[in-house]
A = this chain, B = another copy of it.
Amino acid sequence: MNTPAPIDQLQQRLGKPASGWRARLYAIIFESDTPKGRAFDLALIGAILLSVLVIVLTSVQSIASEYGAWLHGAEWFFTVLFTVEYIARCLCVQRPLAYARSFFGIIDLMSILPSYVSLFVPAAHVVMGVRILRLLRLFRILKLTLYIQEYSMLGDALLASRRKIFVFLSVVFLIVFLLGTVMYVVEGPEHGYTSIPTAVYWAISTMTTVGFGDLVPKTDIGRTIASFMMLLGWGILAVPTGIISSEITHQRGQRVLPLRVCRSCLSTGHDPDARFCKDCGAQL
């Protein structure tokens, strides 16, 4: 785990000012290993969570009709706050354009734009759901914790299995598409399977064992095919689990594997905490 985290790479790309108020601002906003930087991160996360809560509450009809004015005010408060933060971020890095075009820079901009747009185009209001993308910033605070190793381990397991997963998904998609079309032919529009896309949607909901029940087969042959699909989906479900399971077991094995070599007898396989060679007794 010695490779620099994406966050560090980003910071190198943005460039830290040498000194002055910009350097101090940079240390607060972009670094999280100083007390001030950590306090800023926590305050920012609090603000993000609160702004998300405002959006969620606004969506609840009964709350919106009663506290509409308060929620509207809070929304503008957070919009201004995040605008100030965005400008501060742009100011304190050496290459503002690099920040603006970075992943987090785009998210920061996208989370404040909808409010301003809504002043002119009311329909843009729905776009505000994008604001919750700011939640992705939460991952940054995780840098401080040990959890990042687990993230990378899960990521490694998925990455190492990406070919198997791609193969698996392509097979699943083919099966779902074929069986969905068969059901469209068998059940037909009179039982709700109005088109092939709808039938494929039903096939996916059946084979993933979700089973909404908004569409159900009504003919005997349709039910027979559905039964077969459910059993097949059940069996297929075992494949990704097996892939991931085997991958995690493998990674654990690799991590535990010590690569210590005895200088005396050149034997390997010593425990990480061994002080003497288990084969010849020489000091390691």
Contact call B245/A240, Cβ cutoff below 8 A: no
Q: How far is the CA of A105 from the CA of B104 in the complex (A)?
A: 51
A242 touches which of B150, B226, B248 (Cβ 8 Å): B248
Tell me how many chains of this kind the complex includes.
4
Shortest Cβ gap from A267 to chain B (Å): 9
Partner-contacting stretch, out of A67-75, A76-84, A93-101, A276-284:
A276-284
Shortest Cβ gap from A157 to chain B (Å): 7
A274 touches which of B138, B240, B279 (Cβ 8 Å): B279
Residues in chain B near residue A12, CB distance under 8 A: none
Nearest residue, chain B, Cβ from A256: B250
Nearest residue, chain B, Cβ from A282: B281
Interface of A is mostly: helix
Task: Provide the A182-225 mask, 1 if CB < 8 A to any CB of B, else 0.
Answer: 10110001000011111011001110111111101000100110
Contact call A230/B210, Cβ cutoff below 8 A: yes
Contact call A205/B211, Cβ cutoff below 8 A: yes
Interface size on A, residues (CB 8 A): 95
Known: A164-B153, A189-B61, A230-B210. A198 touches B223 (CB 8 A): yes
- CB of A46 within 8 A of chain B? no
Partner-contacting stretch, out of A2-10, A14-22, A170-178:
A170-178
Contact call B279/A275, Cβ cutoff below 8 A: yes
- CB of A23 within 8 A of chain B? no
Contact call B181/A129, Cβ cutoff below 8 A: yes
Question: Among residues 144 to 165 in chain A, which have CB atoms less than 8 Å away from a CB atom of chain B?
Answer: 146-147, 150-151, 153-154, 157, 163-165
Chain A residues within 8 Å of B, Cβ to Cβ: 55-56, 59-61, 126-127, 129, 132-133, 135-136, 138, 146-147, 150-151, 153-154, 157, 163-170, 172, 174, 177-178, 181-182, 184-185, 189, 194-198, 200-201, 204-206, 208-214, 216, 220, 223-224, 226-227, 230-231, 233-235, 237-250, 252, 269-271, 273-284
16 A-B contacts, Cβ less than 8 Å apart? A59-B184, A61-B194, A136-B174, A150-B167, A204-B231, A205-B226, A210-B211, A210-B230, A210-B233, A212-B216, A237-B237, A238-B245, A241-B244, A242-B245, A245-B246, A281-B283
Beyond A59-B197, A61-B189, 17 extra complex contacts between A and B, CB < 8 Å = A56-B195, A60-B194, A135-B177, A138-B170, A147-B166, A197-B220, A214-B216, A241-B245, A242-B245, A242-B246, A242-B248, A243-B248, A245-B248, A245-B249, A246-B249, A274-B279, A275-B280
